[in-house]
Amino acid sequence: MNRAAETTARATGRDGLRVHARLDHRDVDLDLDLEPGQVLAVLGPNGAGKSTLLSLIAGLVRPDRGRVELEGRVLTDTASGEFVPAHARGVAMLSQQALLFPHLSVAENVAFAPRSRGETRSAARGIAEQWLREVEADELASRRPTQLSGGQAQRVAIARALAADPRLLLLDEPMAALDVGSAPAVRRLLRRILREEQRTAVLVTHDLLDALALADRVIVLESGRIVERGSVREVLTSPRSAFAARMAGVNLVSGTIEEPGILRTSWSTTLSGIGEAAVGSDAVALFRPGAVAVHLEPPPHASPRNVIAVTIAELDVHGATVRVRGVDHPDGSTGPAADVTAAAVADLDLAPGQHVYFVVKTQEMELHPALAPTARPTDI
Ligand SMILES: Nc1ncnc2c1ncn2[C@@H]1O[C@H](COP(=O)(O)OP(=O)(O)OP(=O)(O)O)[C@@H](O)[C@H]1O
């Protein structure tokens, strides 16, 4: 099959990835499907279970209960005892560090997987040359890994992963260890490889840019459970978890819907907004920092506006905009943020410790149902 035909088969062929796995001692319980040709970004705080998910898929960790399938092939099944070892899964992993074999040249590193699967020396060399060209690293072929920059080494690691002809790529924060100068070029390269070749991939990242540039779907993990899932756009425009809201740069306040369009927080602030959340249900109010006006006194005729009393925690300057951060809410959740102009900060003479009022129009306040209980019950 030529590359184009192979790509089409990859994208339209059989099932993609299915993971249904529980690991008791890490308290991880995950359940996800990914269509072939899609890239899934996995977001979440430290210790949420992101690396564990990759290890379960790669065959580095066995679940206590569960099943992992790739393109219709069972890789792990605790019910039947099936467990395909890591090297035979057709899964390639790319980590933060390139982890090239130090004693081999760049070309030999990339030729390693084709050689291991039985290609002749010259065929493996040809495959290595092709992938090094693909990642624009062909001129590095005869170098040793110690003679490469971080960005160059990561390009070579990408070529080495692809030369193994994987059915699935696992990317564990591939740009995290690169300096700001080389990360964009590697991100562009990955975007080209993932998107143009319609590869199926799972990408663990802490960087919103990676999710936006590379992924079709997003899951957010917290405490070993998937708390949000959807398209990148859905999750980042209407986040429901505190983590996704922070990543998306929106304010999130939790509470209960007291009457249609009114959310009451546990510290008895009421917020009026627009949205479908039902009376009596748990809900979140979302508003953008740019939609907040900062006042020194509560405005006398605030309706239909929301007035939130805030103590300023800090001021962060981003170009001509200043982000005014409030101290955490009484329930311990992240305090609200407002983006105002530097001129407004000067006029109001804002400073940390000061008591101010954040004012947000009702139309700018979105009310959404809160997340379902975090643990999706598993039936395995
Ligand atoms: N080798 C291990 N043995 C036992 N428990 C582990 C092991 N590795 C991770 N854990 C635990 O499993 C849970 C999930 O950890 P994991 O490393 O998957 O999180 P993560 O989301 O990748 O975090 P980070 O962003 O810090 O890398 C945590 O409670 C962690 O302490």
CATH number at residue 345: 2.40.50.100
Give the pLDDT score at 14.
Answer: 60
Q: Which protein residue's CA is at the shortest distance from atom 14 of ligand 1?
A: 49
Give per-residue pLDDT as tens, 154-171: 889 999 999 998 999 999
Q: Which protein residue's CA is at the shortest distance from atom 2 of ligand 1?
A: 26
Quick one: which atom of ligand 1 is closest to the CA of 53?
A: 18
Q: Which protein residue's CA is at the shortest distance from atom 25 of ligand 1?
A: 46
Average pLDDT over residues 136-151: 92
347 Cβ neighbours under 8 A, 6+ residues apart: none
Whether the ipTM is more than 0.85: the answer is yes
pLDDT band at 233 (very low <50, low <70, confident <90, very high): confident
Does any ligand 1 atom lie closer than 6 A to the CB of residue 26? yes
Give the pLDDT score at 379.
Answer: 32
Give the pLDDT score at 13.
Answer: 47
Cα 28 to middle of ligand 1, angstroms: 9
Same structural domain for residues 120 and 232? Answer: yes
374 in a domain, yes or no?
no
380 in a domain, yes or no?
no
- CA-based nearest residue to 156, from 116, 114, 100: 100
214 in a domain, yes or no?
yes
Same structural domain for residues 163 and 254? Answer: no
Same structural domain for residues 180 and 305? Answer: no
**What Å distances lie between residue 294 and 103, 272, 281, 337, 350, CA to CA?**
60, 18, 30, 10, 10
Q: Indicate the number of domains in the chain.
A: 2
Same structural domain for residues 106 and 194? Answer: yes
Q: Is the per-residue pLDDT at 365 higher than 50?
A: yes
Same structural domain for residues 110 and 216? Answer: yes
How is residue 308 written in tokens? 């939130």
94 in a domain, yes or no?
yes
Q: Is the per-residue pLDDT at 6 higher than 50?
A: no
Average pLDDT over residues 331-356: 93
Could you tell which of 19, 23, 25, 26 is best to mutate to test the pocket of ligand 1, judged by most ligand atoms within 8 Å of the CB? 26
CATH number, position 172: 3.40.50.300
The residue from 206, 237, 268 where one domain ends is 237
Cα 291 to middle of ligand 1, angstroms: 37
The residue from 237, 257, 291 where one domain ends is 237
Give the pLDDT score at 378.
Answer: 36
Same structural domain for residues 187 and 317? Answer: no
370 in a domain, yes or no?
no
Q: Is the per-residue pLDDT at 117 higher than 90?
A: no
The residue assigned the tokens 């200043």 is 322
* 137 or 23: which leads in pLDDT: 23
In this structure, what are the phi and psi dihedrals at residue 127, rounded to the nearest 5 degrees?
-65, -40
301 Cβ neighbours under 8 A, 6+ residues apart: none
Does any ligand 1 atom lie closer than 6 A to the CB of residue 48? yes
Look up the domain containing 263 and give its range: 249-365
Cα 26 to middle of ligand 1, angstroms: 7
Could you tell which of 51, 225, 227 is best to mutate to test the pocket of ligand 1, judged by most ligand atoms within 8 Å of the CB? 51
262 in a domain, yes or no?
yes
Among 71-85, 141-155, 213-227, 322-336, the range of highest mean pLDDT: 71-85
Q: Is the per-residue pLDDT at 377 higher than 80?
A: no
Same structural domain for residues 57 and 145? Answer: yes
372 in a domain, yes or no?
no
Cα 48 to middle of ligand 1, angstroms: 7
Average pLDDT over residues 7-36: 82
The residue from 237, 258, 288 where one domain ends is 237
Same structural domain for residues 145 and 11? Answer: yes
Same structural domain for residues 135 and 277? Answer: no
Same structural domain for residues 154 and 278? Answer: no
378 in a domain, yes or no?
no
From 80-89, 105-114, 122-131, 206-215, the region with the lowest mean pLDDT: 206-215
Give per-residue pLDDT as tens, 183-231: 878 888 888 888 888 899 999 998 877 888 889 999 999 999 999 999 8
Same structural domain for residues 23 and 165? Answer: yes
Does any ligand 1 atom lie closer than 6 A to the CB of residue 30? no
Average pLDDT over residues 230-240: 84
Average pLDDT over residues 127-142: 92
Give the pLDDT score at 246.
Answer: 82
Same structural domain for residues 46 and 145? Answer: yes
Q: Which protein residue's CA is at the shortest distance from atom 4 of ligand 1?
A: 26
Cα 208 to middle of ligand 1, angstroms: 21
Strand partners, 344: none
Give per-residue pLDDT as tens, 243-268: 888 888 889 999 999 999 999 999 99
Cα 353 to middle of ligand 1, angstroms: 37
Q: Which protein residue's CA is at the shortest distance from atom 18 of ligand 1?
A: 49
Does any ligand 1 atom lie closer than 6 A to the CB of residue 54? no
Could you tell which of 28, 52, 93 is best to mutate to test the pocket of ligand 1, judged by most ligand atoms within 8 Å of the CB? 52
- CA-based nearest residue to 273, from 286, 292, 254, 256: 286
Burial of residue 220 (CB within 10 Å: 0-12, 13-18, 19+) is buried
